[in-house]
Amino acid sequence: MAKQSEPLFDTVALIGVGLIGSSIARAVRRDQVARRVVAGVRPGASAKTLKSLNIVDVVIEDIPAAVKDADLVILCTPVGSYGEIAKAIAPQLKPGAIISDVGSVKQAVVDSVGPELPAGVHFVPAHPVAGTEHSGPAAGFAELFDGRWCILTPANGSDKDAVAKVKAFWERCGSKVEIMDAKHHDLVLAITSHVPHLIAYNIVGTASDLETVTNSEVIKYSAGGFRDFTRIAASDPTMWRDVFLTNKDAVLEMLGRFSEDLTALQRAIRWGDGQTLYELFSRTRAIRRQIIDAGQETARPDFGRQEKS
Amino acid sequence: MAKQSEPLFDTVALIGVGLIGSSIARAVRRDQVARRVVAGVRPGASAKTLKSLNIVDVVIEDIPAAVKDADLVILCTPVGSYGEIAKAIAPQLKPGAIISDVGSVKQAVVDSVGPELPAGVHFVPAHPVAGTEHSGPAAGFAELFDGRWCILTPANGSDKDAVAKVKAFWERCGSKVEIMDAKHHDLVLAITSHVPHLIAYNIVGTASDLETVTNSEVIKYSAGGFRDFTRIAASDPTMWRDVFLTNKDAVLEMLGRFSEDLTALQRAIRWGDGQTLYELFSRTRAIRRQIIDAGQETARPDFGRQEKS
């Protein structure tokens, strides 16, 4: 990760400051990536928490007012709210300002935010592929993005300097940066993130609805594998509702593949086809090894969860 | 967990010493649960590793010979091999010996092992609900069972003393113990362990077979959720093949529920039914909280995997 002492921006405005926004605030302060961080939030409990955390320079409980002096504005609310926020802040944006975001889907963001922005500002959509199952400003930490990928999906013909500055911003926050087409991003994330979340939410729902197995039994014997799924099924409900509503096509395509493959496995079980099961179970091990080797996962057994902290 | 200094058994024989068997050996030594641990293994590389680890008193590369003096024999090989092993060791078992196992399915074990055993030995099937994604004798550790549940499924009319001794054995190894019917065990574990493993194996397979998203992309962006699934999809292929072949009915039933629920979610996504998605995503969070409160999961965000070890 690039380490420089010169701030890249004078003022960065974060709109909505939950897990991701507050982690950005902390990472920006850690490496002095900007001279000043302004948080624009809706009035309420999380604004109060945010003030008490003292991780941004100013908290403004009025979103349009918060972007007035910003050189970089980052939308950090659930993606379903972006269009409305873009419309509200558009008249306040400084000429030459860069607008970015942290949304888990990208084509829908391009479609909803792009048309709202005035000429003379630069839109560079971004998605830091990082997070935890916790939500809210208190859940953030400066190291969240260290070694994780951040994907930028600028449109063709985007201002090269603006893209370079957003890239540098994320590198200073600890990320590695990749640039790709918005539609391709949505397909990649459908399989690496959205469908995994959906099936995790689904199995937790299935388990809790059974009448033959009690919830108490599900909880007691969850160490058999089930508990792993409860982590991502504990993610923010609003954020994830919006992801599925805005990345419908890619999610349905990947879900179709998943279900087709699962049906083949179901058939192998029904017919006692041990060879098919063994072959799949053998090759999946290699993928984890590669993820560990790529620095995207801990090599510690069981995520290191049984170690005393 | 009960802590007593008196050994419960004179000689314990472990048949097959991988992750679970070697963790038992270490837990037995930690708390002096038996005076002597004999390992009965097939000749080969893992026998060599086992000897070099020095965690058992004797390694015998001849399974029937290993059980001769044992008061407690625990089968720790994949469940598909139990019937054959039971047949081979039956003539060597000491009168009054207790036979147990660690298999992840129980009715099939009752059916395959029970008929092979001579009169005068006591069969107490057991399943410690604990493990990691690693395999082999070097992967074990004494703390594996601490605070985890071990389920016993003795038949009606089983010798009460034998059941009590196996219960005490697991408590001394750190476990909490529950007794239930073998068929019910298989249903409970189908949802808390077997189906979760199947869908984890399945999504890792689906992701690696895509032609529109490269394996390199799957690996790079796996922190979006996918990497969680690779952990249990890295579990021992032989063990898991045997689980699905021997717990077919319960797995197919639970898989049917899972698929039905997933189809409903798919429909909600297709029709833009955000309310259905939001409601499910909200109630799943509570289950994780209960698992953490029950001491079956770490409360640290992201399993604590990002903390430096």
Q: Are residues A25 and A68 in the same domain?
A: yes
Q: Are A26 and A7 in contact (CB under 8 A)?
A: no
Q: Are residues B65 and B85 in the same domain?
A: yes
Query: Does residue A246 register a pLDDT over 70?
Result: yes
Vertex A30 angle, CA A29 and A35, to 5°: 30
Rounded mean pLDDT of A148-163? Answer: 97
CB contact under 8 A, A192 and B221: yes
B43-46: list long-range contacts, CB under 8 Å, 24+ apart. Answer: B46/B17, B46/B18, B46/B136, B46/B137
Last residue of a domain, one of B147, B180, B213: B180
Q: Which of B36, B240, B45, B42 is nearest to B138 (CA)?
A: B45
Query: Does residue A254 register a pLDDT over 90?
Result: yes
Classify residue B157: in a domain, yes or no.
yes
Tell me which chain B residue has its CA closest to the CA of residue A270: B248
Shortest Cα distance from B69 to chain A (angstroms)?
Answer: 33
Q: Which of B188, B291, B160, B78 is nearest to A281 (CA)?
A: B78
Q: Are A269 and B251 in contact (CB under 8 A)?
A: yes
CATH number at residue B200: 1.10.3660.10
| Residues of chain B above pLDDT 90, percent | 95
Q: What is the ipTM of this complex?
A: 0.94
Q: Are residues B167 and B268 in the same domain?
A: no
Last residue of a domain, one of A161, A180, A199: A180
Q: Are residues A174 and A188 in the same domain?
A: no
Classify residue A309: in a domain, yes or no.
no
Q: Are B80 and B246 in contact (CB under 8 A)?
A: yes
Burial of A168 (0-12, 13-18, 19+ CB in 10 A): middle
Classify residue B291: in a domain, yes or no.
no
Q: Are residues B221 and B193 in the same domain?
A: yes
CATH number at residue A109: 3.40.50.720
Q: Are residues A143 and A237 in the same domain?
A: no
Query: Does residue B1 register a pLDDT over 50?
Result: no
Shortest Cα distance from B65 to chain A (angstroms)?
Answer: 30
Classify residue B213: in a domain, yes or no.
yes
The pLDDT of residue A307: 72
Vertex B195 angle, CA B188 and A207, to 5°: 55
Shortest Cα distance from A127 to chain B (angstroms)?
Answer: 10
Classify residue A259: in a domain, yes or no.
yes
Distance of alpha carbon A112 from alpha carbon A87, whole angstroms: 9
Rounded mean pLDDT of A278-287? Answer: 95
Give the model's confidence band at A1: pLDDT under 50 very low, under 70 low, under 90 confident, else very high. Answer: very low
Q: Are residues A20 and A48 in the same domain?
A: yes
CB contact under 8 A, A192 and B241: no
Query: Does residue B309 register a pLDDT over 50?
Result: no
Rounded mean pLDDT of A163-170? Answer: 98
Classify residue A305: in a domain, yes or no.
no
Question: Tens of pLDDT along A16-66?
Answer: 999 999 999 999 999 999 999 999 999 988 899 999 999 999 999 999 999
Query: Does residue A4 register a pLDDT over 60?
Result: no
A149 chain-B contacts, CB cut-off 8 A: 220-221, 223
CB contact under 8 A, B241 and A272: no
Give the model's confidence band at A5: pLDDT under 50 very low, under 70 low, under 90 confident, else very high. Answer: confident
B196 chain-A contacts, CB cut-off 8 A: 203, 224-226, 228-229
Rounded mean pLDDT of A220-237? Answer: 96
Total number of domains constituting chain A: 2
Classify residue A1: in a domain, yes or no.
no
Query: Does residue A309 register a pLDDT over 50?
Result: no
Classify residue B290: in a domain, yes or no.
no
Last residue of a domain, one of B180, B202, B218: B180
Q: Are residues A171 and A192 in the same domain?
A: no
Q: Are residues A143 and A247 in the same domain?
A: no
Q: Are residues B130 and B19 in the same domain?
A: yes
B202 chain-A contacts, CB cut-off 8 A: 258, 261-262, 265, 280
Q: Are residues A172 and A255 in the same domain?
A: no
Q: Are A301 and B132 in contact (CB under 8 A)?
A: yes
CA atoms within 13 A on the CB side of A178: 18
Q: Which domain holds residue A193?
A: 184-297
Query: Does residue B308 register a pLDDT over 80?
Result: no
The pLDDT of residue B3: 52
CB pairs under 8 A between A and B: 363
Rounded mean pLDDT of A262-288? Answer: 97
Question: Tens of pLDDT along B247-283?
Answer: 999 999 999 999 999 999 999 999 999 999 999 999 9
Q: Are residues A24 and A171 in the same domain?
A: yes
CB contact under 8 A, A284 and B217: no
